[in-house]
Amino acid sequence: MGSSIQLVFGAVPCHYTTTKSYFTRSSSYFSVKNYVKGKWDKDILCEQLKGPVDFQGCLRVQGRGAISRLYSVGKLNRRLETLSCKCQRTESVSQAIVEVGSGKSMNGMSEPSSLQSLEGPKLLNNEKTVITSDDEIAAASEMSDTLQGFGINSIEDEAWNLLRASIVYYCGNPIGTIAANDPSAANILNYDQIFIRDFIPSGMAFLLKGEYDIVRNFILHTLQLQSWEKTMDCHSPGQGLMPASFKVRTVPLDGDDSATEEVLDPDFGEAAIGRVAPVDSGLWWIILLRAYGKFSGDLSVQERVDVQTGIKMILKLCLADGFDMFPTLLVTDGSCMIDRRMGIHGHPLEIQALFYSALLCAREMLVPEEASADLIRALNNRLVALSFHIREYYWIDMRKLNEIYRYTTEEYSYDAVNKFNIYPDQIPPWLVEWMPTTGGYFIGNLQPAHMDFRFFSLGNLWSIISSLATTDQSHAILDLIEAKWEDIVANMPLKICYPALEGEEWQIITGYDPKNTPWSYHNAGAWPTLLWQLTVACIKMNRPEIAENAIKVAERRIARDKWPEYYDTKGARFIGKQARLFQTWSIAGYLVAKLLISNPKAAKKLINVEDSELVNALSNALSANPKKRPRRKLKQSYII
């Protein structure tokens, strides 16, 4: 585990600026880690700590190991001691904060009374994990029957109760939702953590309900965790990386046996199974930040210097030059929702759709300033190239399939038709039968001499939502979902991908993964959380009835089955082999879908509309070359 020290200032802005603008965090949240990672001179840091710190509220201090190598810890601690808010046992956290601070809780928020008032499976205060006592287990597992028995009649009511019960508090304030609250699970693994990607539907549900504080807190606290020094075998992930998940831990306060403090402990993949890098976390964070502004009307969060810096750090990481030939983001296997080996290394669609969406959202939120001009130029260039690349090379329908079937190979030229040298024999037999006459989709991945023809739901849906797909392509994707309802929706929306890897392919691609056996989990299992993305996409294309039908399918059993994480079998008839019950994003995904169907206008706040400037830039580039090859000078020619 890495070592770090972190300071978190309360909501009242602490006027704490530094001289180096890139790492300046002039408002409430300030992470010393950034100084360490940014190779800041220790004297600058110590000087800053002595400087005019003007704050109120709760200051949290977490110091571990290596800081002593970098700074004179004695000196630093003495300095910090006077500032420290020693959170007592967590049950009295709120009180402690109020006492130490100015009468307000951390972040200036009111205490979470309304959120706590509804009882569901309870979180223990101490570790913020799942319930453990027998009584609580019994109570929780019978909850769904009981709620209905007491006349809390709608599945939605139950879902809200469960969602609220999954809330995790930090220093008395709600900051996220636990991944699963399954009282029957023997091994909790990391399901007791707050996952960035899992919180997105929770956050959306709270935004739709007008409960903004939890989302604001989540955004600001996860920002602090960005580029926290975490290492795997001496290697640190790139600055700007957001963790996959984090946990609120209660630990003894240094030097004081009678007191404890709460600390946030992030996992950037260095503890995750397979050590996968959570590339999607930062992209989701940007998307949620924009949604927060749209729903709450509070643009002050995205305008904060530290938040602007956070956005730029994510963008810099994504836009950094590498060896890659394509505008798509190059990632390792399992870097997104599918966080295990599943043959999605390279340029998987899900990452590209989120990347495109995050670029658009970031562009909307970045405060125009001279210093960001290059970044915004790079961002615009990437948007144009990315949309061209995906629309052109990932798209597949009957016409395109037939074209691939007749491809000439081994073309060495600038104007090759078969640019990636795809051998027609790669077309899998299932696809020849499966491709409907109307409809089409984006393939899962494209690499030199390799097309992954599997249909991945999230990537396709988010391509619609973000307008990465053209209008025609968006309709065609929905046509395909309708035409292939029995494969993609069946008894529970929505298959994560189709079809499953079987036999030798499963052995080689998953590495004999017993969790990802055919038609289970990531290998074509059905994930109810995807319902919300389906709903946004359908509403955007003015075809809400597709989502309504899917919701009806889910309602037949999702609550009765206790909100499983995923379903197995080709027809999604069984609760997944190792599926958690009371999986929060299954609950939240359902709620968001319901809320949007009853208020479709709200979906507008979640989509990216097609950018006419981009379309023009692209068509200019293409019209300059009848063979549809973007001009080589595209980079220079697109002016913002």
Query: How many whole angstroms separate alpha carbon 12 and alpha carbon 438?
Result: 57
Between residue 98 and residue 127, which ones bind ligand GLC under the rule CB under 6 A? none
Q: Which of residues 339-378 bind ligand GLC (CB under 6 A)?
A: 339
Q: Which residue's CB is nearer to ligand GLC, number 339 or number 452?
A: 339
Q: Residue 156: helix, strand or coil by DSSP?
A: helix
Closest residue by Cα to residue 521 from 472, 471, 575: 575
Site string (572-611) toward ligand GLC, x via CB under 6 A: ----------------------------------------
Which amino acid, one-letter code, is at 325? Answer: M
Whichever of 198 and 229 has its CB closer to ligand GLC, that residue is: 198
Q: How far is the CB of 521 from ligand GLC (least distance, A)?
A: 8
| Residue 352, SS3 per DSSP | helix
CB 344 within 8 A of CB 332: no
- d(CA 518, CA 589) in angstroms, rounded, equals 24
In the numeric block, which tokens belong to residue 378?
Answer: 């790079």
| Least Cβ distance, residue 335 to ligand GLC (angstroms) | 11
Binding mask 401-430 for ligand GLC (x = CB under 6 A): ------------------------------
Q: How big is the site for ligand GLC, counted in residues (CB under 6 A)?
A: 6
**Contact present, 268 and 278 (Cβ < 8 Å):** yes
- Whats the size of the chain, residue-wise? 640
Between 306 and 339, name the residue whose CB sits nearer to ligand GLC. 339
- Asked if 498 is part of the footprint of ligand GLC (rule: CB under 6 A), the reply reads no
Q: How far apart are CA 491 and CA 573, in angstroms?
A: 6
Report in angstroms how near the CB of residue 283 gets to ligand GLC at its nearest. 14
Q: Is 261:60 a contact under the CB 8 Å cutoff?
A: yes
Of residues 153-172, those binding ligand GLC (CB under 6 A): none
What is the residue type of 610?
A: E
Angle between helix 612-623 and helix 373-389 axes, rounded to 10 deg: 70
Whole-number minimum distance, CB 542 to ligand GLC, in Å? 30
Site string for ligand GLC, 172-191 (x = CB under 6 A): -------x------------
Residue given tokens 């930090």 in the structure block = 170
Backbone dihedral angles phi then psi of residue 236, each to the nearest 5 degrees: -100, 145
Residue type, 72: S
CA distance 574 to 561: 10
Shortest Cβ distance from residue 496 to ligand GLC (Å)? 9
Which is closer to ligand GLC, CB of 395 or CB of 532?
532
Q: Which of 9, 170, 195, 218 binds ligand GLC (CB under 6 A)?
A: 195
Closer residue to ligand GLC in complex, CB, 195/574:
195
Near ligand GLC by CB under 6 A: residue from 104, 164, 197, 304: 197
198 touches ligand GLC by CB under 6 A: yes
Q: Which residue of 58, 215, 337, 492 would you call a contact of ligand GLC, by CB under 6 A? A: 337
End-to-end CA distance of the chain, in Å?
43
In whole angstroms, how close is the CB of 219 to ligand GLC at the nearest point? 18
396, β-bridge pairs: 441
Scanning 192-200, 210-218, 345-353, 531-539 for contacts with ligand GLC by CB under 6 A, the matching segment is 192-200
| Between 442 and 527, CB nearer to ligand GLC | 527
Which pair of tokens denotes residue 509? 């691609």
No. of H helices and E strands in the chain?
A: 27, 14
Give min distance, CB of 197 to ligand GLC, in A: 5
Q: Which is nearer to ligand GLC, 442 or 582 (CB)?
A: 582
When the beta carbons of 337 and 546 are compared against ligand GLC, the nearer one is: 337
Nearest-approach distance from CB 278 to ligand GLC, in angstroms: 9
Interaction of residue 219 with ligand GLC, rule CB under 6 A: no
Stretch that binds ligand GLC, among 195-203, 300-308, 409-417, 420-428 (CB under 6 A): 195-203
Strands, DSSP E only, in 193-244?
194-195
What DSSP string describes 559-595?
TTTT--S-EETTTT-EE-TTPPSSBHHHHHHHHHHHH
Closest distance of CB 592 from ligand GLC, Å: 16
Question: Minimum CB separation from ligand GLC for residue 206, in Å?
Answer: 18
Minimum distance of ligand GLC from residue 195's CB (angstroms): 4
Which of residues 327 and 334 has its CB atom nearest to ligand GLC in the complex?
334
Nearest distance in Å: CB 245, ligand GLC: 7
**Smaller CB distance to ligand GLC: residue 59 or 276?**
276
Helices (H), 209-337: 213-225, 279-296, 300-303, 305-319
> Minimum distance between the CB of residue 529 and ligand GLC, rounded to whole angstroms?
9
Name residue 330's amino acid.
L
* Chain centre to alpha carbon of residue 340: 16
Is the Cβ–Cβ distance between 456 and 530 less than 8 Å?
Answer: no
Q: Which stretch binds ligand GLC (CB under 6 A): 51-59, 86-94, 193-201, 307-315?
A: 193-201
DSSP-based helix, strand, coil % in the chain, nearest 5: 45, 10, 40
**In whole angstroms, what is the distance from residue 362 CA to residue 287 CA?**
8
CB neighbourhood size of 500 (10 A): 20
Site of interaction with ligand GLC (CB under 6 A): 179, 195, 197-198, 337, 339
